[in-house]
Chain A
Amino acid sequence: MRATVAGATANAPAKPLRWLRWSAWLVLLVVLLALPLYVGSEWLKAGQWMMTGAVGAIGLTMLVGQAGQLSLAHAFFLLAGGTTYTVLASGTEDGRVVGFGVDPLLALLAAVAVTALLGLAFAPVSGRLRGIYLGVASLSLVFIGLYFGQSADRLTGGTSTGRTPAPFALFGFTFDNSGSLVVLGVPLRQAERLWYLYLALTVIAFVLARGAVRSRVGRSWRAVRDHEASAAAMGVNVAWAKAGAFAVSSAYAGLAGVMTVLWFDILKPDENEFGTYGINVSIAYLAMVIIGGLGSIGGALVGALIVFGLPQVLSLYSNQLGIFTGSGAGAVTPILVSTFVYGAAIILVVLFEPGGLAAIGRRITGGLHAQRKKEGTSR
C-alpha cells in the first residue's frame, strides 16, 4: 500500500484514472441499488442467481488462481452451508426434521464458520496433493455430499420433499412477502428485499476478497503457488497457507450455499450426482473462474454473469421476444444456446487468452495496468 501511495505521487497521470475507476464502481453500485425499483421480479431473480454464483466464484478463484489448488469440491460446501443454515434457522416442522430456530443472521454466520472448518478439515489431503490429483480427491467430497444428503434426511429433509429454510431476517425485518414496505410507489416484496440482501453479501464478499488478495495473506498464497520451497525459505508457513486458502474458499462456498437455499426457498439434496449440489455445479464454478481469469476477483464476477446469468437472461428474453421457441430434438433453445456460448467461451479463453476476461479488461485499461505494474502491486 505504501508503494502505491509513493507511486501515485511520483506519477501524476495515475490519479485521475483511479478516480475514474472509483466513480465507475460507485455509479455501478447506485444503479444496482436502484434496479429493484425499475425491473420486474423475474430479472431480479436472475440477478440474485448471478450474485450467488459470484460469491462462490470469488471463493474458488482465490483457491485455484491465487493459491494454486484445484478444487472440484465447491458443490459439497454449497450443500454443507445450505444445510447448516436451514437446520439452525428453521423450526422442527411436524418432527420429521430437526431444527433449532436460531436467529437467521447467526445461522448464516454459523454456516460460513462450519464450512470454513470443513475446509480446514480437508487440509491433510489438500496439503499433500497437487494439481489434478487434488482435483480428483476433492471430487470425492461431492459424492460424500450426495450420500450425506440422501441419508441424513433428519437434517436435509431428504431427497423426496426436502425442507423449507426459514426466511432470512435482520433485526426483526424479514426478507419475504410479509408486511408492506413501499419505496417510491414500489412495494418491496421478497424479490426486491432479497436483491438488497444479496447485493450486500456480494459487496462484502468482494471487498474482503480484494483485501485478502492484496495483503500479506494473498502474497503468501501466490508465493506457495509459484514455488513452495522458496516460499518456505522466505518464511511462509506452507501448510498453513494452503489450509487457510482452502478454508477461506470453503467459507465463500458456504455463504453461496445459504444464498442458494434462500433463492430456491427450499433445501433439497440431489437424487443423483447431477443437480443443485452435484458435479455439474462444481464444474460450472470452475468454468466461471477460468472464463473470468484465474485469480482475478473481478473476473470471477464476470464469469458468474456469463455462466449463471446467460441461460437465465436468454430464456427470459426469448419468452419476451418470442425467439428460440422451437421444441423437440433439433430445436435451438435458450438453454442450448447458452450451453454453446459458455462452452465456446472456455475454449476461446484457454486458446487465445489464458488470463481470461480479466486480462482482456486489464489490456483495455492498459495505461493503468502498466502504471500499477511499475508500482509492483499487480493483482
Chain B
Amino acid sequence: MKRRLSLVLAAMLVVAACGTKAGDQGSSGSDASGVKTDLGVTANEITLGVMSDLTGPFKNLSIGITHGNQLWANDFNAAGGVCGRQVRLEVVDHGYKADQAKTLYPQLEPKVLGFVQVVGSPIMAALKQNIKSDKVTTTPASWSSELLDNPYVMIVGTTYDVEMIDGLSYLHEQGMIKDGDTVAHIYIDGEYGANGLRGSQYYAQKHGLNLREVKITSSDNDLTNIVTGLRGEGVKAILLTTTPAQTGSVAAANKALGLNVPVLGNNPTFDPVLLNSPAANALDRLYVVASSVPVAADIPKAKEVLGKYQAAKFPEPPNAGVPYGYAVAEVWGTVLKKACDNKDLTRDGILRALQQTTSADTGNLVAPLDFSKPGAPPTREVYVAQPDGSSVGGIKYVKPLFEAADAKDYVAPHQK
C-alpha cells in the first residue's frame, strides 16, 4: 500500500514538474508607438466582451442589444478603428443564469479589455466582486443606481429611480396628479423594483403624496385583484416597475374596472408585443419613461441604425435593444479613443478615460452622458412616450428629452 502510494505520488510530481499551467498569464507592456496595453489588446485587435442572454427570458432584448453592438463594431472598424487596432466582440450566452455566468466569466475575462454588455441584475450581482478585483470596466444592461457603488460599472442612460422622478413630474405638470394625492406603486421585489420605488418615495416625500407600495414577484401575472384594491383606495395614478406582462394585466384591469387613471412605467415595462395582446386596447393611459430611444425614433441616427439593421438581414425583428446596443458601444468608442489619446489601453487606462468622459455623444440615441461624477447617474434626462400601434417600434413620444427640477436635486444612493 505504502509503496503504491509513494509510486503514484512520485509519478504525479514528475508530471507536475513537467508542465503546469504556469506562465500562461497575460502579458503587459508598451507597443512600438508607446501605447500601454495589458489584457484584451493585441498588436492589431481590441477584444470587448459580451455576456448576453441569447436563450433565456430576456432573449429578445438581449439579441437586439448584441446586434446593435455588432453594427457599431462594423462601423467603427470601417472607420479605421482606434490606435491602429480593430475591435472584435467575444459573445457568450449565460441564459440569464447566475451560475452559468459565474463559470463563463473566468473563461472570458482574461481575453477582454472590458465588457460592452452584461445582461441582468442577478448576473451583475454575482459578478460584482470579480469586476472590482479584475478592474474591468463593464456596461450592464440593467439600470439600477445601486450598481454605481462600483467604479467599474458604466451605466448608459439614466437609472430607474430618476426615471420615476422625471415621470412623476411629468404627470404633475400635465395636471394628472397633484400634491397630496394617493398614488400606488406596484413593483417587483428585487434590484429593479426597489430602485424604481426609491424614486417614487423621494418624489412622494417632496410633494406630500400618499404612496401605496405594492410588492409583487416577477412571476405574478394576474394583477386584477391588486388593481381592484387600489380602486377602493381612490388612487389617482398607478406607477409600475414590472414586467411587460404585468403591465398588460394592470392596464387591462385599469380599463375594465373603470378606474382609468394614468399608468406610469419604467422603460422595461413596455414591450411592443403588448400591442398584439388582449391588453392592446387598454394601453392608452400608459406612459413610459426612458432615456434611450425606441427603434423607430424620428432621429437621423436612429434611422441610420435601423437602416443598417435591416440591411444586415438579422433574422429577428428589431426592438429598442438595437439602438441602445449601438449607443452603448458608441460610448465605448468615445472612451477607447480617449484612452488611445492618453496612450493607455490598459484596464486602468480605460477607467481613467471613462472618468474623463464628460460628454459622450451618441447622436441622441441616448441623452448626453457625463461619467465624471462617481456614483451619480450619467444623465437625468428622459423622454415620455405612449404605446402607438401605428409606429414601427410601437411607441411614440409625448414629451422629448427633459430633466425635471426634482430629478436634478435627487441624490443617488452612492453619489459622492
Contacts and interface: CB of A to CB of B under 8 A. Distances in A.
Q: Does B associate with A?
A: yes
Interface of A: 19, 22-23, 26-27, 30, 34, 37-42, 45-46, 49, 150, 158-162, 164, 177, 184-187, 191, 263-266, 268, 271-276, 308, 311-312, 315-316, 319-320, 326-329, 331, 333-336
Interface residues of B, number: 57
B97 to A, nearest CB: 7
Given A159-B190, A160-B194, A271-B217, A312 B103 contact: yes
Given A26-B5, A159-B191, A333-B55, A177 B106 contact: no
Interface string B1-36: 100110011001001110111110100000000000
A308 B99 CA distance: 9
Contacts of B21: 37-40, 186
A266 B128 contact: yes
Give the interface centre of A191, A263, A308 by most chain B CB atoms within 10 Å. A263
A265 B128 contact: yes
A307 B75 CA distance: 42
A266 B129 contact: yes
Contacts of B102: 45, 49, 263-264
B22 A184 contact: yes
Contacts of A40: 21, 106-107
B126 interface: yes
B16 A34 contact: yes
Contact of A34 (B12, B25, B54, B94): B12
A274 B220 CA distance: 12
B168 to A, nearest CB: 21
A184 B219 CA distance: 50
Contacts of A42: 103-107
B188 interface: yes
Interface in B80-98: 92-95, 97-98
Given A22-B1, A186-B22, 14 more contacts: A23-B4, A40-B107, A42-B105, A42-B106, A150-B189, A160-B144, A186-B20, A268-B126, A272-B189, A274-B219, A308-B99, A311-B97, A328-B59, A331-B55
A271 B189 contact: yes
Contacts of B189: 150, 159, 271-272
B22 A271 contact: no
19 contacts: A27-B8, A40-B107, A42-B104, A160-B144, A160-B190, A160-B191, A161-B125, A186-B20, A186-B22, A187-B25, A266-B126, A271-B190, A272-B218, A308-B99, A316-B103, A319-B104, A327-B54, A328-B59, A333-B55
Contacts of A191: 106
A183 to B, nearest CB: 8
B232 to A, nearest CB: 25
Contacts of B146: 160-161
Given A38-B20, A335-B55, A273 B219 contact: yes
A34 B17 CA distance: 11
Contact of A319 (B17, B92, B95): B92
Give the interface centre of B1, B16, B99 by most chain A CB atoms within 10 Å. B99
Nearest to A38: B21
A276 B98 contact: yes
Contacts of A316: 103-104, 107
Contacts, number: 150
Given A30-B9, A42-B107, A266 B125 contact: yes
Contacts of A150: 189, 215
A30 B219 contact: no
A328 B103 contact: no
Contacts of B251: none
Nearest to B53: A327
Given A150-B189, A271-B190, A160 B195 contact: yes
A160 B197 CA distance: 11
A19 B4 CA distance: 11
A123 B195 CA distance: 40
Given A30-B9, A158-B194, A273-B217, A184 B104 contact: no
Contacts of A187: 25
Contact of A268 (B56, B122, B218, B316): B122
Given A37-B21, A271-B218, A272-B218, A162 B125 contact: yes
A333 B93 contact: yes
A143 B128 CA distance: 27
B63 interface: yes
A327 B55 contact: yes
Given A271-B188, A271-B189, A328 B63 contact: yes
Nearest to A33: B12
B54 A315 contact: no
Interface in B204-219: 215, 217-219
Contact of A37 (B9, B20, B66, B128): B20
B133 interface: yes
Contacts of B54: 326-328, 331, 333
Interface string B313-325: 0011000000000
Contact of A315 (B1, B4, B104, B217): B104
Contacts of A275: 122
A38 B21 CA distance: 5
Interface string B125-141: 11011100100000000
Contacts of B17: 184
Contacts of A22: 1
B20 A265 contact: no
B100 interface: yes
Contact of A45 (B9, B25, B55, B103): B103
A177 B128 CA distance: 15
Nearest to A27: B8
Nearest to A41: B106
A76 B177 CA distance: 43
